[in-house]
């Protein structure tokens, strides 16, 4: 099973360097703590935005150029899901890391065309222990 990470940053007013620093930390966390072999990011989108329409804004190229060690954006992740033939465990940080719209998540899992196990990495800020919940799409 391949372990793939996805991180996104909501639209906000912080500077581009701050936004990219936070995304780099998320990518690092997904690679080191959750052992993701690939990580995809959406640097500027809302949690309730449809997944297939993310990463379509004018600031996108500037953001992606400053994010280290990521394997692409949501469109690259969607392409991977259509071409990868082994099961995937998709890891996101926090429950809104993928989407706050359950219909978008269901459609995303259906789109993958094969077994995908979403996993949420939740860290307790007081004791720094990792709490992961795994949910199968059975």
pLDDT at 90: 86
Taking the model in full, what pTM does it have? Answer: 0.79
Distance CA 34, CA 121 (A): 8
pLDDT at 125: 37
**CATH at 103:** 3.40.50
DSSP character for 3? E
Are 50 and 82 in contact, with CB atoms under 8 Å apart?
no
Domain with 106 in it: 2-134
Q: Which band of pLDDT confidence, cut at 50, 70 and 90, is reported for residue 89?
A: confident
DSSP for 43-109, written as a single string:
SS--TTS-GGG-S-STTHHHHHHH-TT----HHHHHHHHHH--S-EEEEEESTTTT-S-HHHHHHHH
pLDDT at 32: 92
Question: Number of structural domains, the chain?
Answer: 1
Report which secondary-structure segment, H or E, holds 111.
helix 102-112
pLDDT at 115: 58
């Amino acid at each position: 099973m391949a372990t793939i990470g996805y991180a996104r940053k909501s639209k906000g007013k912080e500077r581009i360097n701050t936004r990219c620093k936070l995304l780099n930390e998320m990518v690092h966390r997904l690679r080191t703590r959750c052992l993701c072999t690939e990580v995809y990011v959406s640097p500027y989108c809302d949690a309730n935005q449809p997944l297939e329409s993310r990463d379509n804004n004018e600031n996108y190229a500037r953001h992606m150029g400053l994010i280290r060690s990521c394997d692409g954006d949501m469109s690259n992740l969607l392409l991977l899901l259509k071409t990868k033939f082994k099961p995937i465990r998709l890891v996101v940080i926090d429950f809104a890391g993928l989407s706050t719209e359950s219909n978008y998540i269901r459609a995303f899992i259906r789109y993958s065309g094969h077994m995908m196990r979403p996993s949420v990495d939740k860290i307790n800020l007081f004791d720094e222990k990792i709490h992961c919940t795994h949910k199968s799409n059975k």
